[in-house]
Structure 1
């Protein structure tokens, strides 16, 4: 799985309506009297530039975590990566997206797809955590 860093996000996006009812997977007709409030995607995704950036995911090694090839992930580099977090990292200068596992003094970068083996960080490897994935965004557009 590879990662393409797209760059930082800027704050102060346009506010969009948030409807107060649950939306079924059918075709509801959202009426203006159901608007609870207006929110921005900045608020929804807790974007506080310059600590947040976008990355595009390539590959299928994280699909069981709900991150698919072509998805954008929102990455917060101000968070300390904890055991179990999905991170964007550089392992020996290779950009990757994996789940961070810390076991005793061992660091393992786990895929979320059984087709891909875990990557153990060995002595002499250079691991740099570039940030913690907080959200993913998928394009459901027509091909």
Structure 2
């Protein structure tokens, strides 16, 4: 499913790797019909309902999708942690308040896109990090919108 893109990345520290989408079929896993409660599970509800294809569930536009490995703590309050895998779609509209993968002056970053009366910013989701203003002379490009975050629990 992940195909490493062998490039040296220049980042602001919020991204450690970028991967391409490998379209090699489906990834079907068991899907159980019972919902999982936080309490004691009922053995009577342990039966398989169907199979869930994670590619169909998580990847809306395969030809426009890539993956990014997050690094650092700047997006913690958005639920993005160090080493998380981000699913990114280039075809989704880059609107205000969406979490995006962008390049700014040659460096990759993952931040929340914010546009208000003061201008356009790449906002961190951690009060220990400053927002980054996008100036007229900035070399700025949005690569895609983060659609899902996958992390270990």
* TM-score range relative to shorter protein: 0.7 to 0.9
Deviates more, 1:121-130 or 1:10-19: 10-19
What are the within-5 Å matches in structure 2 for residues 1-12 of structure 1?
1-3=13-15, 4-10=17-23, 12=25
Are 2:35 and 1:15 equivalent residues in the alignment?
Answer: no
On the 8 A contact 2:34/2:46 being kept in 1, the answer is no
TM-score (norm 1): 0.87
Are 2:100 and 1:110 equivalent residues in the alignment?
Answer: no
Q: Distance in 1 between matches of 2:131 and 2:113?
A: 10
After superposition, the Cα gap between the structure-2 partners of 1:94 and 1:26, relative to the gap in structure 1 and judged at 3 Å, is farther
Q: Distance in 1 between matches of 2:22 and 2:70?
A: 17
What are the within-5 Å matches in structure 2 for residues 1-143 of structure 1?
1-3=13-15, 4-10=17-23, 12-25=25-38, 28=41, 34-104=47-117, 106-140=119-153
- Displacement after TM superposition at 1:36 (Å): 2.4
After superposition, the Cα gap between the structure-2 partners of 1:139 and 1:98, relative to the gap in structure 1 and judged at 3 Å, is same
RMSD: 2.2
Q: Which runs of 5+ in 1 are unaligned?
A: none
After superposition, the Cα gap between the structure-2 partners of 1:29 and 1:41, relative to the gap in structure 1 and judged at 3 Å, is farther
Q: Distance in 2 between matches of 1:63 and 1:27?
A: 31
TM-score (norm 2): 0.81
After superposition, the Cα gap between the structure-2 partners of 1:109 and 1:125, relative to the gap in structure 1 and judged at 3 Å, is same
- Displacement after TM superposition at 1:118 (Å): 0.6
- Displacement after TM superposition at 1:24 (Å): 3.0
On the 8 A contact 1:42/1:48 being kept in 2, the answer is no
Q: Number of residues paired by the alignment? A: 140
